[in-house]
Every structure is written in C-alpha cells, then in structure tokens.
Structure 1
C-alpha cells in the first residue's frame, strides 16, 4: 500500500515496526504528557485556550521542520473526513476539557475525563472480542488514577454540576474515539498530524478570543510554553499516532493511566507536590494494571488461547 504522500510507507515518519516497538513509542507520548502539569504550572497565568493555541502552533511548526526534507506537507492531502477526525480529536478534546473545568469542580471533572483510557480498551475490542485481562488492567489503572486525582479523599458529585460532568465525559469519549478511529486508518501518514496541530492552533486562538482575556507570558514562562509545544503538546501527538496505528491499542489504553501518576511524580521531584500513601498505592495499581494488560506482549504464547473472534 502506498501512502497519499507518494511514499511506500503509510506512516511516513515511522519505519517498519514490531507491535511491541510501536506500543512502546505510543507509551513515550504518555511519558511526555507527564510533563503537562509541571510545564503548565510554570507557564503562569496564561489562559488555557490561549496556551493551547500557542503550544499547538509550536507543535505544528515542529512537524513542519521535521517533515520538510521528505515533503511531509503532501500528507495533508486527506479527505474531509480524515481532517474532521484529526482536528476534531485534538481540538475537540482540549476544548471540551477546558469547558468541563469551567463548569464543574476540577477533581471530579478531571477524573471523569480520565475515563478515556478505559474507553480506548473497550472501543478497541469492537469486532475483536474484549479480553478480560485488558479490561481488568484498565480498571486497575482507573482506580489508581482516581487515587492520584482525589488524593485519597472522597468525591462529592453534585447534581448542579451535571453539565460539567457531561462535558468531561464527552471529552473522554472524543479522545478515545479519535485514538481508536485513527488506529483504523493506517494509510494516513503521521505527517498529517502536523496539519491537525496547526488547524487546532487556529481554532484554539479563535475560541480564546471569544472566551478569554489575553495574558502574555513573561520570562521563564516562555520557556515553559516552548517546552509544552515541543513535548507534551507537540512530539507526543506524533508518537501517539504511531502507537495507535501500529501498536497494541488495548495495552496502550491501559498503560495510559500512568500519565497522572508520572505527572504527580514529576511534580514531587520538582518540589511542587508531596509524596503520600495515595501516590504509593496508585503506583502499585497502575503498574499492576499495565503489566496485566500487556500480558500477551510480555509473555507471548503464555497460555493465551486463540481469539475466537479472529477468522481462521
């Protein structure tokens, strides 16, 4: 199969990869997302949508530079449905997440939004059969994420915040849908993500003008924004695209619960948060869930029965 950009490799940015290697590349995106909280904290009082516009612009420029030599811009010649999926996933998720935090308490909204890894595991099983260890691994990860987000404290869901909760769930649904559907389109080169990032930057800036007051960063805040655009809101989306298209999506979904844990560990290391029993227990739950979900990759053939959903 030839890619739309004329290259023989549908992903353009990724050579032939094993399932395990591609899954690991996807997890590198999760590791980069662990830096989101720290860099966002260091970015000062820049409003969320303005911050997204600036970061996605940096990420898009990063993609342009990286793809210039191989003509990566040719990968932008995609059907409208592909653009709708790509831009809808990147912009839609982040806009909904920001709106959810405006309409509901941050703890509850964040926890609901973190249903996306579990939804990925469920969606990825459609037509292929849901394997129990993937689902159990994702549930363990969700329990660990709940400990991280709540700090081990009880939740207080209030009926008056139902619109915010609904928006947060919609955000989770959008990101899970984007990830799974992208995985079903391996013919779309990863270089196309550059176009999605630039379009998201434009839409985020428009939403910022409608909903926020501009606040320009100062001093070290510019470095934090540059770090966001190069890593968690830049390179991470290209790595994620490779992971969902070439890796084990169910394993990647369950392992994504490491993001809030790693983020907390980074904040602790930077002196922005304190270690606690909740963090320690979350570490055990998320690690156990990820290992369980990745059982087939870690121990190939280890007692695995043939998948009855796979045609012989």
Structure 2
C-alpha cells in the first residue's frame, strides 16, 4: 500500500468522526459509557466479519501486550474524555481535549524515519486556531474544575500517544483493532454498571443513531485510522484532523441543529490553510 493511499484511508476516519456529534445527539438519552459499550460492540462485530476473510488465526499472532496497549488507548481515551466533561463541561475542556492532533504532529518527530519541520508545526497551530473558534462558538456555558481540565489534557496525550505509537507497531495487522474494540466494549459495560443508570435509546431515531455510530465514528473509523497511522503521512493526518470539528459543525448546520455563523467561515479558512502548509511541508520532504 502506498503512503498516499494509506493517508487517504486514514483521513476517512476524520470524515467519519465529523458525524460523531450528530449521531450522538440522535442517540440521547443513552448515558456515555453505555453508548460506548454498544457502539464498540458493533464495531467489534464488524471487525470480526472483516477478519473472517483471511481467518481468525491472524489474531493469534498478535502479542497480548499489543492488545493491552490498544485497549488502554481506546478505553482510556474515552474514559478520560467522558469523565473530564462530567467534571468540567466547558469550552476550555473541549479545547484542551482537542490538543491531540497537535500532539501527534509534535510526537511524530520522535519516530524513526520521520522529520518534523517548522512548517508542520505552524500548520498545526493555525489549524488549532480554527478548531478553537468552532469549539468556543458552539460550546455551552458551564462551570468546571481543575481536575476536569487535567483529565482533558491526559485525554489528549492518551490519544496522541496511542496514534503515534501505532506507527511503531506497523507489522501488527489492523485486524487486531477488532480485539481492541471488543475489549473496550467490555470495560465500558463495567464502567456503565458502576457509574451510570441504564437508559436505552428511544425509537427508531435513537436506535438508528447508535447503529450508525457503531458502524462509522465508533467502529470502522478506528480501523481506517490504524492504517493511516501505520502507513500514511502522520504529520499531515495530524493537522488534517482539525477538519473534524469544522465538518461536525457543518453537519449540525445541515441538520438544522446549529445556525451558520461567520466563525464557521473563518475556521474553515484557518484549517484549510494549516492543512495546506502541512501538505506543502510533506511534499517538500518527499
């Protein structure tokens, strides 16, 4: 697989994550860990169907340490994310949690064979400015806590570390994500039973939204992201990830949930400019 094709496949995850907010709204009033368990369960089943093409023997070739790493990355990120927003439901929490694309760009410089340039960093910072506009414009007012902000920071570090370290596991088959998803679903059930009251989806819209989440943003997206991180342009994908909050907001506008604003247009320009700088830097390196 070429680097360019793997990058495009990785960006498919960003496109799917742009529908996360829309489908999550549709799944209300399901509590977060129960929703997590249902969606990752669906994603795991999809992975089993995909893995069956070449036989399940490939899963036996993967070390338990890799499975532990992947489960820690997926479940750890979501546990920290949900807990951070429970303690601090503010715009600041969202901005801190969305530092992970910038961290991916910065951490990628530590990988063998990768070279981080000032233009990559500049592009990531400009794109973050665009994402910040989106988050601040649509965030609800609320009171938060220092602990919540700290967990949001750990959340961003967790996903960035999971993504970048996946590059070091380039020989591990992407089918391993199937086990990550199923293990994350199991741990989410435990967290739900310990921390939440069970509330099921309401009507066709609710169940349809859960199914859509499990198929896309909390399912196939992690498989395509794995391919992008292992074989694609990791710096470009990091910067391009800032398109997710913009595309997410546009999806909410199209659905009539959010009103269009000048902030969306300005954010679009900043994110596009940041991605263009990162792409230019990657092209020069190539």
Same fold (TM over 0.5): yes
Counterpart residue number, 1:59: 43
Is contact 1:152–1:278 with CA below 8 Å preserved after alignment?
Answer: no
Q: TM-score, normalised by structure 1?
A: 0.87
Shift of 1:129: 4.3
Of 118, 125, 129, the residue aligned with 1:139 is 125
Mean Cα deviation higher: 49-58 or 97-106: 97-106
CA separation of 1:162 and 1:73: change in aligned 2, threshold 3 A: farther
Looking at structure 2, the residues matched to 137 and 178 of structure 1 have their Cα atoms a distance apart, in angstroms, of 22
**2-side partners of 1:176 and 1:164: how far apart?**
19
SS where residue 199 of structure 2 aligns? coil
Q: What's 2:260 paired with?
A: 275
Q: Which residue of 2 aligns with 1:205?
A: 189
8 A Cα contact 2:117 2:281, kept in partner:
no
The root-mean-square deviation of aligned C-alpha atoms, in Å, is 1.9
* Alpha-carbon separation, structure 1, partners of 2:176 and 2:67: 9
- The Cα of 1:81 is off from its aligned counterpart by 2.2
Q: 1:81 to 1:281 in 2, by over 3 A?
A: same
> How many angstroms does 1:296 deviate by?
4.1
Asked if 1 retains the 8 angstrom alpha-carbon contact of 2:119 and 2:281, the reply is no
Q: What SS does the corresponding residue of 2:29 show, helix, strand or coil?
A: coil
How far apart in 2 are the matches of 1:84 and 1:76?
Answer: 14
What is the Cα deviation at residue 98 of structure 1?
0.1
- Cα distance in 2 between the residues matched to 1:72 and 1:280: 47
Structure with the larger helix share: 2
Does the Cα contact within 8 Å between 2:127 and 2:271 map onto a contact in 1?
Answer: yes
Show the counterpart of 2:110. Answer: 126
In our comparison, the structure showing a higher alpha carbon Rg is 1
Q: Name the count of aligned residue pairs.
A: 283
Question: 1:224-282 CA distances to partner (integer Å, 9 max, x unpaired)?
Answer: 00000000001100000000000011110011000000000000011110111111100
Moved more, 184-193 or 65-74: 65-74
Structure 1 partner of 2:209:
224
In structure 2, C-alpha distance between the alignment counterparts of 1:144 and 1:268, rounded to whole Å: 17
Secondary structure, aligned partner of 1:167: helix
